[in-house]
Amino acid sequence: MQVMKIRKVTENVFAVGVQDWRRKLFDALVPLPHGTSYNSYLVTGEKVAVIDSVDPLFTDEWLKNLQELKVAPDYIIVNHAEQDHSGGLPEFIRAYPDAKIVTNARCRDLLISLLHLPSDKFLIIEDKSVLDLGGGYVLEFHLTPWVHWPETMFSFLQPEKILFSCDFLGAHYASADLFVQDEQLIYNTAKLYYSEVMMPYSAQARKALEIARQLMPLFIAPSHGQVYNHPEFILQAYDDWTGENTGDVLILYVTMHDSVKKMAALIQHELEAQKVKVKVQDLTETDSGEIAMELVDARTVLLGTPTVLSGAHPAAAYAAILLNAVRPKIKYLGLFGSFIWGGKALDQLASLVTTIKPEIFPPLMIKGLPLPEDEIKIIEWAKEVALKNK
């Protein structure tokens, strides 16, 4: 696709990043149906500042974008050390040897470890430090640790009121259009992004959201996806996602000979009879991104597995590990399954979930295909789940 590579955010602020149309998977975990972008921006006051770098695979394209503008950057601001936003730095400091790398002390230490950058290149800022670019432009820095690394921070440009939020509020979305056109589409891809990257740090993300709101940005320019020129919708979305989970019961199951499928159907039927909203997903037909997105809102997760050689089915174990990794704010967790011999599958699943502390329903294990008396047990169990989700 032909893309205009350098685009104007405002009169003296340019988008100089790159689009990664072809990337299919992020962190070898989350599918990317719309590719992604590694955004970088350039502010031209009397001094010139670049905001963030790009993934190392796109360094040449990024440097060409900078060269096209025929300016010599005085600074490069690094909001986050992860390589998809810092990978071009070694080449950048070779191309612009007089430029300073502006960041916080934690980020400097990470950059030196990850990229072996020389320590004398850095200008270290603290929370609420400002950098006067001249020409009326001032950058303010706000430390926002753990969204989603320890060194993450925001840069805020005055008087334009542009918030450079790096990963925070971002979305995996490659596009020729600089500004958000389709809020519903971006809502969904931003939610997928949030579920993998930000949800494990939802408390810190909520604090960062307060900082973002207090700044009252006119534009939010993240490091993945498009620029928000009407930022309220993404701020409101983060308000919802970082708030209390009020969503449905989510049943995730895998089945081999339909015993667990039958259990899931009985549980679903009883919950619906009790007017509880339920979503059901067969783990063999669901990718990790879809599961993670559902976990943003789910209040209760019920995870079902058959027994494979006395343990949990690997697909159910994967879901438990994913749950443990993305740390959703679920209130309740239930494990159910079926066995013929060797009944350790549910213990094994429980042992995989250690980073969150939901209330756990008593495990529900049935031998083989549920008999009528088993069905009564399953329905009673579902009634307990319903009571907690009224």
Q: Which residues contact 60 (CB under 8 A, 6 or more apart)?
A: 91
- Tell me how far, at minimum, the Cβ of 167 lies from ligand FEO, in Å: 4
- Tell me how far, at minimum, the Cβ of 290 lies from ligand FEO, in Å: 21
Report the residue from 20, 52, 74, 82 that binds ligand FEO according to the rule CB under 6 A.
82
> Which segment (61-69, 79-87, 175-183, 202-210) binds ligand FEO by CB under 6 A?
79-87
Cβ(86)–Cβ(111) below 8 Å:
yes
Cis peptide before 148 (omega within 30 of 0): yes
CA angle 163, 185, 300 (to 5 degrees): 95
Instruction: Considering the complex, state which of residue 122 and residue 201 has its C-beta at the smaller distance from ligand FEO.
Output: 201
- Tell me how far, at minimum, the Cβ of 2 lies from ligand FEO, in Å: 25
- Tell me how far, at minimum, the Cβ of 348 lies from ligand FEO, in Å: 31
Site for ligand FEO in 110-129 (CB under 6 A): none
- Residue 84 binds to ligand FEO (criterion: CB under 6 A): yes
> Which segment (78-86, 108-116, 184-192, 290-298) binds ligand FEO by CB under 6 A?
78-86
Site for ligand FEO in 201-230 (CB under 6 A): 223-224
Cα–Cα distance measured from residue 129 to residue 293, given in angstroms and rounded to the nearest whole number:
36
Token readout for 70 is 């025929």
> Which segment (2-10, 82-90, 123-131, 283-291) binds ligand FEO by CB under 6 A?
82-90
Token readout for 111 is 């950059």
Instruction: Considering the complex, state which of residue 78 and residue 131 has its C-beta at the smaller distance from ligand FEO.
Output: 78
Instruction: Considering the complex, state which of residue 36 and residue 389 has its C-beta at the smaller distance from ligand FEO.
Output: 36
Interface map 128-167 toward ligand FEO (x if CB under 6 A): --------------------x------------------x
Q: How many residues bind ligand FEO (CB under 6 A)?
A: 8
Give the residue from 321, 356, 319, 327 showing the smallest Cα distance to 201: 327
> Which segment (76-84, 116-124, 342-350, 365-373) binds ligand FEO by CB under 6 A?
76-84
Cα–Cα distance measured from residue 336 to residue 346, given in angstroms and rounded to the nearest whole number:
7
Interface map 167-186 toward ligand FEO (x if CB under 6 A): x-------------------
Cβ(162)–Cβ(231) below 8 Å:
no
- Tell me how far, at minimum, the Cβ of 225 lies from ligand FEO, in Å: 10
Cβ(194)–Cβ(327) below 8 Å:
no
Angle between helices 372-388 and 259-273 (to 10 degrees): 50
Cα–Cα distance measured from residue 167 to residue 153, given in angstroms and rounded to the nearest whole number:
10
Report the residue from 7, 34, 80, 313 that binds ligand FEO according to the rule CB under 6 A.
80
Please state the φ and ψ torsions of residue 28, each to the nearest 5 degrees: 50, 35
Instruction: Considering the complex, state which of residue 7 and residue 80 has its C-beta at the smaller distance from ligand FEO.
Output: 80
Which residue is closest to ligand FEO by CB? Answer: 82
Instruction: Considering the complex, state which of residue 85 and residue 262 has its C-beta at the smaller distance from ligand FEO.
Output: 85
Cα–Cα distance measured from residue 108 to residue 120, given in angstroms and rounded to the nearest whole number:
11
Q: Beta 30-31 vs 25-26: how paired, if at all?
A: antiparallel
- Residue 23 binds to ligand FEO (criterion: CB under 6 A): no
Give the residue from 234, 250, 252 showing the smallest Cα distance to 242: 234
Amino acid sitting at position 358: P
Report the residue from 7, 23, 34, 85 that binds ligand FEO according to the rule CB under 6 A.
85
Identify the H or E element spanning 278: strand 278-282
Cis peptide before 116 (omega within 30 of 0): no
Interface map 320-339 toward ligand FEO (x if CB under 6 A): --------------------
Cα–Cα distance measured from residue 198 to residue 238, given in angstroms and rounded to the nearest whole number:
10
Instruction: Considering the complex, state which of residue 198 and residue 278 has its C-beta at the smaller distance from ligand FEO.
Output: 198
Cα–Cα distance measured from residue 36 to residue 110, given in angstroms and rounded to the nearest whole number:
24
- Residue 294 binds to ligand FEO (criterion: CB under 6 A): no
Cα–Cα distance measured from residue 40 to residue 62, given in angstroms and rounded to the nearest whole number:
8
* Footprint of ligand FEO (CB under 6 A): 80, 82, 84-85, 148, 167, 223-224
